[in-house]
Amino acid sequence: MRRFRTDLTYADVTPKEVFLNRRALLRGAAAMGAATILPLPAAARDFAGGETPNTLEDIKAYNNFYEFGTGKDDPAKYAGQMTIDPWSVKVDGLVDRPGTYDLADLIDEAEVEERIYRFRCVEAWSMVIPWNGIELSKILNKFSPQPGAKYVAFETLERPSEMPGLARSNIDWPYREGLRMDEAMHPLTLMGTGIYGEPMPKQNGAPIRLVVPWKYGFKSIKSIVRISFTDTQPPATWNMLQPREYGFYSNVNPTVDHPRWSQATERRIGDGLFAKRRPTLMFNGYEEEVASLYAGMDLTKFI
């Protein structure tokens, strides 16, 4: 059931494979200098200043997904066990259309875009990732949030039989994260559905995960099964665990150090062990787009 579908677009009437192949074909033609006759639906948009994206291999091999263990290679080793079909998302709280929605009712393929974003982990490594996703606002608006909703909270799947990391950690599962409503509705915020035109790899948070490019990576919660609208700041996993180290906002900020390490520079995965570290940019380089969200806030206090 597609209860929110309003109008038909090219992708609606084109099978997925044809759609993706056609994009690849057109991109190839453009690279060869040939004129493209047809407009490119959902063309990749570069939000990373032309920096070379990391390889799919790197993006799938070096992960944080503590449900599968704390090692960077644990998600690649164990996330394959996670069942992602069927998948549904519970929507509750201050919203006019609460309910349990099948993935197919949430994700309209026609709305999926490809966007290349810088992605920076709080541990000071970074990548450039070509995400596929839908602007989160487009999804949230379908639920008709009520005016009283000031925050939106997310929860990850908690399934011990498929997630070996759940038993071996002091985290209060499920993994939780939240955004202020204006952050959630910002046009840069995506609900990620894939990488490099492939469905989201399980270790990267299949089938849907948040992508908030101006915040440290842990805000981008994976494998989402619940979305709640609240009037108070919701609990967030790392903030609950170490509030002094991980604030609710967690905007990338090179001028505010993590209590145990500097945030001024970063190591780009794939650069090699002896490569020079790169300077980290305010709001991860998205200052022009997002700084106004925090006007008047002391960003040394609201970390």
End-to-end CA, the chain:
42
- The stretch among 57-65, 108-116, 155-163, 229-237 that binds Mo ion (CB under 5 A) is 57-65
Q: Do residues 114 and 43 touch, judged by C-beta distance below 8 A?
A: yes
The secondary structure element, H or E, covering residue 28 is helix 16-31
Number of residues engaging ligand MTE in binding (CB under 6 A): 16
- 204 lines the binding site for ligand MTE (CB under 6 A): yes
For residues 230 and 219, give the distance between their C-alpha atoms in angstroms, rounded to a whole number. Answer: 17
- 222 lines the binding site for ligand MTE (CB under 6 A): yes
Which of the listed partners (ligand MTE, Mo ion, none) does 60 bind, with a CB threshold of 5 to 8 Å by partner kind? none
CB-wise, 19 or 62, nearer to ligand MTE?
62
Q: Do residues 210 and 190 touch, judged by C-beta distance below 8 A?
A: yes
Binding to ligand MTE, residues 148-177 (CB under 6 A): 156, 175
CB-wise, 218 or 249, nearer to ligand MTE?
218
> Which of 19, 87, 143, 218 forms a contact with ligand MTE (CB under 6 A)?
218
Instruction: Give the pairing of strands 99-102 and 88-93.
Output: antiparallel
- 218 lines the binding site for Mo ion (CB under 5 A): yes
Q: Do residues 64 and 72 touch, judged by C-beta distance below 8 A?
A: yes
Q: How far is the CB of 141 from ligand MTE (least distance, A)?
A: 24
- The whole-angstrom distance between residue 216's C-alpha and the CA centroid of its chain comes to 11
Q: Where does this chain bind ligand MTE (CB under 6 A)?
A: 63-67, 121, 156, 175, 204-205, 217-218, 220-223
